[in-house]
Each structure stands twice: as structure tokens, then as C-alpha cells.
Structure 1
Amino acid sequence: MNYKYLLASFLVLLIGCEQPAPLTFENIHLSLIDDPDCSSQPCPIIDIDYPVALGEDEVSISISTGLENRIIESFQINPDGPKANTVEDAIAQFTQGYRADKAEFPDMNAQYEVSIILEESFRNEKLICFRQGDFKYTGGAHGNGVTLYQYFDLQSGQEFEFDKLIADRDGLANLAEEKFRAKFNIGPSESINSPGFWFEEELFALPETFGLEEDQLMLVYNTYEIASYADGTVEVAIPLNEVSEYLNLE
């Protein structure tokens, strides 16, 4: 028997079955606190934390690019204006815009601000999810906070929308309404708007934002979606073991 041939064949098979290295990240923190220009010129408040995938493979690059693009979008004041190519460019453009407004309105006391915390919230063999908490102030009575989620396929690195994970939207909506009513003590025969919500035609509706976090699905209604600014973000958590039959997570 040719043992060398068998050993070589086994090694080829073993190498072919090796799993890719697990996706790992390092955290990036950006601010203007130590920027020397801010000692002589007005600067906005910038506080950014976000992960960058380590590695030069296609999946790592695709995910890092997707995360950075979302942060860049968060800095956009004028949707028709030029788009920055990097997060650093976005900060520079935002700073220039603030200085221009400050020069035009010198009595403006409040500083513009962008604060972003972006972090991994869920991962399985199929996908990875990131939660992004944003706060932005560009003048006016108050700033605006928003919670967003991003989903990436771990095989391709491509970003996709949560709707791709919904297997039974009606079933999900029925369970979500049950959980929503239970959290806010709304009886089954009461109007869904009885605590002061703004659902159209008094009919429950799923939120625009869904998040996967460890062992639960988050329903996130951002400011003004179903309630006033004073009410802030409205969130309802559903355990994954109760909602999994309506989702394609595996």
C-alpha cells in the first residue's frame, strides 16, 4: 500500500476543509479634543467609536467599507452636497461647515456635534450585525438621536437589509404587536394609540428598524416614528427563541 500517497491525500483533504480565520476587529476612536486647530478656531464636538475588521481578505474589506460608509452618511448635512471618501474627510467637511455657519452667525452659542457608537451586536455562522447609536446637532432647539443596524453576510461580506431575514412577516407582526401591547399595558381591545402613540389609523405596524442583539430581536421605533421627541426612541425586545420561526437566521 502506498502510505505516502494516502498521507498526501489526507493532508490535501484536511487543508481543503480548513475553516477561514474568525473575523476579528479593532476599535477606532476619533475626536477633535487634541486637534491643535481647535485652540484657535471653533470646532464641533466629535466623538466616534467604530470597529474595523482586521485582515486583507474580501470579506473583511467589504464589512469595514460598509461600516465606514454608514458613518460618513451620518455626517451629511446637505444630501446634495459632496460626499466624503473617508471618515476623516467627513469630519473635516463637517468642521468646515460648522466654522462657516459660525462665521455667518457669530452669536450662535451651541456647538455642532456628532457622536457615534458603532459596535457588534450579534453574530452566527451566517451573518454579523452591528448596532449604531447616533446623536447629531446642527443647530435648532435640540439634536436628534437615532439607532440603526447593519447586516453583513459572513460568506461574501455583502451588506443586506433585515427584510431578507424575515420568513413570515404576518407572523412576526402578530407576535410583535402582542409584545408591544404587553410592554405598554395596552389591552387587546384597547386602541394601540391609547398611551399616546401615533400609529396610522390606530393599526399596529412593524418599525423601520430591526436589530439582532445576542439572544433577542429588537424592534426600534426611532424618534418621531410613532411618538414625540420627548418620548425618545421606543424599543421592544423579543427573545429569539420566541421569534425564530418567523426568521431565516440559520
Structure 2
Amino acid sequence: MKSTLSFLLFGLLLIACNNKNHLPFEPYTVSSDSCENCTKVKIEIPHATANTKLSKTINAALEGEIIALLNFDEESDATNLIEAKNAFLKDYEELSNKFLEESIPWEATIEGAISFENDTLITINLISYIYTGGAHGYGTNRFLNFNKLEGAELYQENLFHDLDEFTHFAESLFRKQENIPLEGSINSTGFMFETEQFYLPTNIGYTEDGLLLFYEPYEIASFADGPITLLIPFSKANPYLKYPK
């Protein structure tokens, strides 16, 4: 996963540099010292280099997401990625000193790449894997969407003309994809939507292939089921989008 995302990131950055309509980025890496049997942190993300509101918004949003991902005890006062990395390493050291049996090193790998960009919108995808003990680690997939013209981050309610209307539309596609009867509970085939009502995932992002709805493990199904995705081609999604492709 690491090598694939690294090639993708650098390739996309190269394309961006050669296209005047694309925001300029450079790769930015933060990592812990390499050693055997020790906690490892590696962050590889695009860093917007232009001195604009949009670049500052993107960089701040990425930094905020990553700081939150590395915040193990929810008491960290880290204000940048280096401080967040050091806090993660310190948290492991303090815990392992208290509980010697919990000596398996932690790991945090976070990589970002541009999944979509046109003249009005840019989406950055953050993929992370965090292990802080236990039977397995936890992977997340975050999509951050930005309005290039206004220099603002776009949240779910900003993407659609009518959020409720799009939700109903997405539910019909989801039921068809997952072979769920159109009538009856959305959980009738084993999903775990709360209150047995369909809802959109936390993460929705633009990709070159369409609008991607990405449900994290545990969001609507068991961890063993992994992430659940619904890719909606722009030909179908555009009527609902404030920023159609």
C-alpha cells in the first residue's frame, strides 16, 4: 500500500506542476527515526505551496485531520505534525512503561493524494493505518473537498442542492447494489444502520470515476466486513451536486 500510494502521490504532484489550472503542491514527509521493534510514524502528504487562502485552508485541514488521528489520549495539545508525531511516540512510551506486557510497538502510517481536481474543486484523500495495541489496527479513509474559487473546505451539506433528496437517491442505489429489497428495513440483509434508517457515510469524495461514498468499518457493518463503498458515476450524481463534473 505504501509504495503504491507514494507513486500515486508523486505522479499527481508532477501532473499538477505541469498544468496551470492545477494548484501547485510539493510532497511533505514527517517520520520517526527508523529502528527495529520500535513505534513507527510515517506521514506523506501533499503540501500546497501557493501563498493563497486556498493553500492555507488545505494545509490547515490536512494538518488538523492528522493531528486528530494521532491523538491517542485525546489530551494532546499538538499544534503541528511534528508535535503530533512526538506526542504519539510519547504516549506509547508512557503506556509501555506502565504495562510491560503491552510492549508491542505502535504504528501510524498516513498518506495523502489528490483524488480529483478541476477548475472549481479539489479533493484530497487521506488513507491511514493506526495500531495502538490489541488484536488489529484500524484503517481510515478520509476525503477532504475544497472550493478552489472561494478557498474554503466543503462539508457534506455544501456538496448537494438538497441533501435529503440525494440521500433518498443514494439509498435506492445502495439497496440495488447490495441486493436489499426496496421495501422494508435497510438492515434486512445484515447491515447495522442505526435506527434502521439509511444515512450517508461520513466520507464522501470526488474521484475521477465518480462520487465515492465510503463507509468505514463499523460504520454500518462489522469490522470483518471491511469498508463498504458506493461509487456513483457523475452522469447520475451531477443533477444533485452543487459542483457537477
Q: TM above 0.5, one fold?
A: yes
**Is the 8 Å Cα contact of residues 151 and 159 (structure 1) preserved in structure 2?**
yes
The answer as to 2:59 corresponding to 1:64 is: yes
Matched, 1:155 2:131: no
Post-superposition CA distance 1:149-190 (Å, at most 9, x none): 112221242223121111122331222112212221223235
Of 220, 223, 230, the residue aligned with 2:214 is 220
Q: Which residue of 2 aligns with 1:238?
A: 232
Aligned to 1:78: 73
Q: 2:66 and 2:89 mapped to 1: Cα distance?
A: 15
Which has the larger Rg?
1
The residue identity in structure 2 corresponding to 1:28 is Y
- Once the two structures are TM-superposed, the CA of residue 21 in structure 1 deviates from its matched residue by 6.6
Whether contact under 8 Å (1:132, 1:148) holds in the other structure is yes
Match runs of 1:32-71 below 5 Å: 32-34=32-34, 38=35, 43-71=38-66
User: Aligned in 2, Cα 1:46/1:82: closer, same or farther, shift over 3 Å?
Assistant: closer
1:175, 1:21 → 2: CA distance? 32
Task: Describe how 1:186-225 pairs up with structure 2 within 5 A.
Answer: 186-189=180-183, 191-225=185-219
Deviation at 1:118, TM superposition (A): 1.4
Q: Structure 2 CA distance, aligned partners of 1:142 and 1:206?
A: 26
Write out per-residue CA displacement over residues 119-145 of structure 1, whole angstroms, 9 at most, x where no aligned residue.
Answer: 111122222111111221212232222
Q: Secondary structure at the match of 1:235?
A: strand
Counterpart in 2 of 1:27? 27
> Over residues 189-221 of structure 1, what are the superposed CA-to-partner deviations in whole Å (9 max), with x where a residue is unaligned?
354223310123433222222111113111111
Cα pair 1:29 1:49 within 8 Å, conserved: yes
SS at match of 2:58: helix
Report the alpha carbon displacement of residue 232 of structure 1 after superposing the two structures with TM.
1.6
- Equivalent residues of 1:43, 1:98 under 8 A apart: no
Equivalents in 2 of 1:248, 1:55: separation in Å? 26
TM-score w.r.t. length of structure 2: 0.83
User: SS at the partner of 2:145?
Assistant: strand
Task: Tell me, in whole angstroms, the C-alpha distance in 2 between the residues paired with 1:57 and 1:223.
Answer: 36
How far 1:116 moved relative to its partner?
1.1
> Percent same amino acid among aligned pairs?
34
Of 160, 163, 167, the residue aligned with 1:169 is 163
Name 1:91's counterpart in structure 2: 85
Instruction: Determine helix, strand or coil for the equivalent of 1:59.
Output: helix
Secondary structure of 1:236 counterpart: strand
Deviation at 1:59, TM superposition (A): 2.6
Q: Which moved more, 1:123-132 or 1:189-198?
A: 189-198
Q: Tell me the matched-pair count.
A: 225
Unaligned runs of 5+ in 1: 1-19
RMSD of Structure 2 on Structure 1 (CA): 2.1
| Letter in structure 1 aligned against 2:134 | G
1-side partners of 2:21 and 2:221: how far apart? 44
Question: 2:23, 2:197 → 1: CA distance?
Answer: 42
Which segment drifts farther, 193-202 or 120-129? 193-202
1:68-124, Cα deviation, whole Å (9 max, x unpaired): 222112111122x23212211111111111111111122224221111121111122
Q: Matched residues in 2 for 1:124 and 1:242: separation?
A: 18
Amino acid at match of 2:91: G
SS in 1 for 2:199: coil
